[in-house]
Chains A and B, each alone.
Chain A
Amino acid sequence: MLSIIEFGKDVQAPGTVMKRPCHGQVKIEGEVLRSFGKPVTASGASVPLANPVIRALSSGGLRSGLVAIFTALGLSAGAASPARAQDSVEILNVSYDPTRELYREYNDLFNDWWTAQGNPAVSVNQSHGGSGGQARAVIDGLDATVVTLALSADIDAISERTGKIPADWQSRLEHNSSPYTSTIVFLVREGNPKGLSDWGDLVKDGVQVITPNPKTSGGARWNFLAAWAWALEEYDGDEDKARDYVTALFRNVPVLDSGARGSTTTFTQRGIGDVLLAWENEAFLALQEQGEDAFDIVVPSVSVLAEPPVTLVDGNITSDAQRVAAQAYLEYLYSPEAQALAVKHFYRAWDTSAAAPEDIARFPDLKRLTIADFGGWAKVQPAFFGDGGLFDQIYEE
């Protein structure tokens, strides 16, 4: 049964009745809040659950005062005012670094399709940064509606620490919830002056390698794993030798940026380093933006199948309308049109039926290991990148 509790003249909260302890009071469970209070009698049943958790009814009271101030300032960044939440649906997509260009176009594509279905337009807000840092921000309270990060481990972290995402989130959408995939390649300076062709060349004396910090960047963790995979193969599974190899590799890294885009800028615009370990899409984008004659892409013999996953942050959903729109936003990523867009932005997609042939032809074939080959993120994350993990150990040496 539904009931509304009144906290004062101006503030009410709707929710399902859990208990009726005594004195005409009820305990209700709203979407975020559980509370005791005196129920409002008359209008009780008519208020839908989809309302914001607490409704400010008129001016006065701390929260409505704040709302009034923010509205007067013309800002929507503060507490969302009740009227706005009902009129238009807003989604905040918290994503990682290299997807900026993809989602800028995808948001328009999605909205065109969504409004063509007879739905009101959705305003999609974007936030980008290193994947690990973005997950941290969501854990600290960044109000993400959907997260589209580089690694499932980062979404696992949100799920574990906040409970806002169910633990089985990765099975909610196709292909491990990864609508597009990518791999790690080398970006070298024009003509490959240092003659770098495979992972073994990166530990040579005088080669400077640019990669972001595996602690904060998802791409950097894939870089690390790809190097590790190559070394294990090269030394017939000898972990000590593989460890020596990655130690030597990171000794050649002069600067660790916090995100993939920071590293790309370091390499391409600040001119530091001989080789950038980059997302394939990030490498192609650098070629496109900086000119084909400035850099070359080198494809190593072994790399990884990186699956950047997407999911809904259930705990942050404020209305049914928002949930429906956010769900559609993620599912439409798998449509042929969206997949073609991913291919255009240098991601490898599953459904290439609508993609331009010349876009598909850009991707070379190479051996790609999945995270399952390393034992899954649940094993890899603590062993390699956790506190005192392999990455910490090689930096202590």
Chain B
Amino acid sequence: MSDTAMTPPLGVTTEPLLARRLLICTVIVLISVLLFAPLIAVFSEALSQGAGAAIQSLASSDARSAIRLTLIVATIAVPLNAAFGIAAAWAITKFDFRGKAFLITLIDLPFSVSPVVAGLALVLLFGANSTFGAWLVAHDLKIVFAFPGIVLATMFVTFPFVARELIPVMIEQGKAEEEAALTLGATGWRAFFTVTLPNIRWALLYGVLLCNARAMGEFGAVAVISGKIRGQTTTMPIMIEMLYNEYLSVAAFSLAAVLALLALLTLILKSVLEWRYSALLAATRRH
């Protein structure tokens, strides 16, 4: 005990230097093998026949429509899920009601259900063999094997991301500030926009970014419901698998590299925002 008092302020652990270095090295090796090596493999395979071949494969109409479809799906699914996530987290953390635990479990459902099962469930519900599906067919509305089905599947899978990020933060912050605002005469909306939203914005941003990354990368549920029509219902992950199966590995990995870049871009965006607003961030975290 006495020697802890003797160590300089930074040395808060009692482990010997060797053990610490060893642990750090293990982590670095693990990260390199598990994260960086696959990423580098993707990029090197994409560029194996030169950048020209990679760019040419991305310029094909199928690849472009896959990129466009993925971006549009994410553009629709992410804001809707963000709105849902805020509403759900708000209801769960600021109000007391019966069945709250059940609601929380329900929100987590998409995490525990396999995406393939989710996709099949949508096909069962909206497919031509169900009553509802038959009604849709009779009115010439296409859900499964078309764009709306892909959006539905993506939304189902990315449902919990925003709510899951917000709930712990909002529980920690409690209701006191909102109550103060209300006693000062603010309306519910005003309290939300001036008190709640500023408090949760970083958690919200983080949730939205995670949600976006998953929405763009979702394979299982979308694969079941897409019908795999080239250039129409193939999102980037499905197109990548198709190209790989067609022995077009440069095209497959070029598209995979674009998908990885989009994910990296999301993370970089988050880091930049955190860095620019680090002072603000520190202030909110003091709460």
B242: interface (CB < 8 Å): yes
B232: interface (CB < 8 Å): yes
Pick from B127, B128, B142, B228: contact of A78, CB under 8 Å = B142
A294: interface (CB < 8 Å): no
A168: interface (CB < 8 Å): no
**Residue of B whose beta carbon sits closest to that of A141:** B128
The residue in B68, B144, B228, B244 that gathers the most chain A C-beta atoms within 10 A of its C-beta is B228
A139: interface (CB < 8 Å): yes
B57-98 contact mask (Cβ, 8 Å, vs A): 1 or 0? 000000000001100100000000000000000000000000
Dominant secondary structure at the B interface: loop
Interface range for A:
35 or more
Pick from B139, B145, B245: contact of A141, CB under 8 Å = B145
Q: Which residues of B contact A265 (CB under 8 A)?
A: 244-245
How many Å lie between the Cα of A52 and that of B129 in the bound state?
A: 22
Q: Which residues of B contact A54 (CB under 8 A)?
A: 139-140
Pick from A52, A66, A139, A285: contact of B128, CB under 8 Å = A139
User: A32 near B137 (CB under 8 angstroms)?
Assistant: yes
User: A127 near B128 (CB under 8 angstroms)?
Assistant: no
B104: interface (CB < 8 Å): no
How many Å lie between the Cα of A52 and that of B139 in the bound state?
A: 11
B193: interface (CB < 8 Å): no
How many Å lie between the Cα of A32 and that of B138 in the bound state?
A: 6
How many Å lie between the Cα of A101 and that of B243 in the bound state?
A: 11
Q: Which residues of B contact A244 (CB under 8 A)?
A: none
Pick from A33, A129, A143, A162: contact of B228, CB under 8 Å = A129
User: A143 near B139 (CB under 8 angstroms)?
Assistant: no
Pick from B69, B127, B141: contact of A75, CB under 8 Å = B69
**Number of B interface residues, CB 8 Å?**
32
A239: interface (CB < 8 Å): no
B41 shortest CB reach to chain A, Å: 14
**Interface residue ranges of B139-159 to A (CB < 8 Å):** 139-142, 144-148, 150
Q: Which residues of B contact A66 (CB under 8 A)?
A: 141, 148
User: B140 near A127 (CB under 8 angstroms)?
Assistant: no
User: A140 near B123 (CB under 8 angstroms)?
Assistant: yes
The residue in A33, A142, A261, A289 that gathers the most chain B C-beta atoms within 10 A of its C-beta is A142
A53: interface (CB < 8 Å): yes
Known: A125-B229, A127-B227, A127-B229. A140 touches B129 (CB 8 A): yes
How many Å lie between the Cα of A142 and that of B133 in the bound state?
A: 12
A262: interface (CB < 8 Å): yes
A128: interface (CB < 8 Å): yes
B231: interface (CB < 8 Å): yes
B155 shortest CB reach to chain A, Å: 16
A309-344 contact mask (Cβ, 8 Å, vs B): 1 or 0? 000000000000000000000000000000000000
User: A143 near B145 (CB under 8 angstroms)?
Assistant: yes
Pick from B141, B145, B245: contact of A63, CB under 8 Å = B141
A380: interface (CB < 8 Å): no
A203: interface (CB < 8 Å): no
User: B229 near A78 (CB under 8 angstroms)?
Assistant: no
How many Å lie between the Cα of A142 and that of B123 in the bound state?
A: 10
B87 shortest CB reach to chain A, Å: 23
Q: Which residues of B contact A118 (CB under 8 A)?
A: none
- Closest 6 CB pairs between A and B? A141-B128, A140-B127, A77-B147, A289-B247, A142-B145, A78-B147
Q: Can you list 12 A-B contacts with CB-CB less than 8 angstroms, sorted by A residue number?
A: A52-B140, A53-B140, A54-B139, A75-B72, A92-B229, A127-B229, A139-B129, A140-B129, A141-B137, A141-B142, A161-B129, A265-B245
- Extra contacts, 7 of them, besides A70-B147, A77-B150 (Cβ < 8 A), are A75-B69, A79-B141, A127-B227, A127-B228, A140-B127, A141-B142, A141-B144
Interface residue ranges, B against A (CB under 8 Å): 68-69, 72, 123, 127-129, 133, 137-142, 144-148, 150, 227-233, 242, 244-247
